[in-house]
Homo-oligomer: A and B are copies of this chain.
Amino acid sequence: MSEADTYQPLSPETIAERLGSLACMSEHVGGDPASWSVREIGDGNLNLVFIVTSPSGSVIVKQALPYVRLVGDSWPLPLYRAFFENCALERQAQRAPDAVPKVFHFDESQALIVMEHLTPHIILRNKLIAGEQISGAGEFVGNFCAQTAFRGSELSLASADKKRDVGLFSGNVAIPAITESLVFTDPYFDAELNNHNPLLNSLVAELRQDVTLKTAVQTALMKFASNTETMVHGDLHSGSIMATDSELKVIDPEFAQYGPMGFDLGMVSANFLMAYFSQPGHRGDNLATYQDWILNVMVASFDAFDAEFSRLWHSERTGMLYPKSLFEDQGQDSGEACSHVLANIHRDALVFCGIEMHRRCLSLAHNADFESIEDPAVRAPLEARNIAMGRELILNAENLAHCSAVIDMAKAHNVGDFL
Contact = CB atoms under 8 A, between A and B. Distances in A.
Contacts of A387: none
Given A214-B327, A330-B209, A336-B215, A170 B167 contact: yes
A52 to B, nearest CB: 36
Given A159-B177, A170-B166, A170-B170, A189 B337 contact: no
Contact of A337 (B153, B214, B336): B214
A326 B173 contact: no
Nearest to A230: B226
A268 to B, nearest CB: 21
A315 interface: no
A344 interface: yes
B332 A211 contact: yes
A327 B185 CA distance: 11
B228 A180 contact: no
Contacts of A208: 330
A154 B225 contact: yes
B340 A219 contact: yes
A329 interface: yes
Interface string A205-227: 00011011011001101100111
A330 B190 CA distance: 9
Nearest to A338: B215
A217 B119 CA distance: 48
Contacts of A72: none
A226 B229 contact: yes
B228 A188 contact: no
Contacts of A191: 325
Contacts of A222: 154, 229, 321, 341
A163 interface: yes
A263 to B, nearest CB: 13
A232 B181 CA distance: 26
Interface in A174-197: 176-177, 180-181, 185, 188-189, 191
Interface residues of A, number: 53
A320 interface: yes
Nearest to A223: B227
A279 B192 CA distance: 61
A64 B364 CA distance: 52
A332 B210 CA distance: 10
A282 B189 CA distance: 59
A171 interface: yes
A330 B340 CA distance: 38
A416 interface: no
Nearest to A324: B189
A293 interface: no
Contacts of A405: none
A215 to B, nearest CB: 4
A211 B170 contact: no
B219 A344 contact: yes
Interface string A19-31: 0000000000000
A121 to B, nearest CB: 34
Contacts of A185: 320, 323, 325-326
Given A170-B164, A321-B222, A336 B227 contact: no
A218 B337 contact: yes
Q: Which 6 A-B pairs have the closest CB atoms?
A: A167-B170, A215-B337, A226-B229, A218-B322, A189-B325, A160-B173
Given A159-B225, A166-B170, A209-B330, 8 more contacts: A154-B222, A154-B226, A189-B330, A212-B336, A214-B327, A219-B344, A222-B229, A227-B227
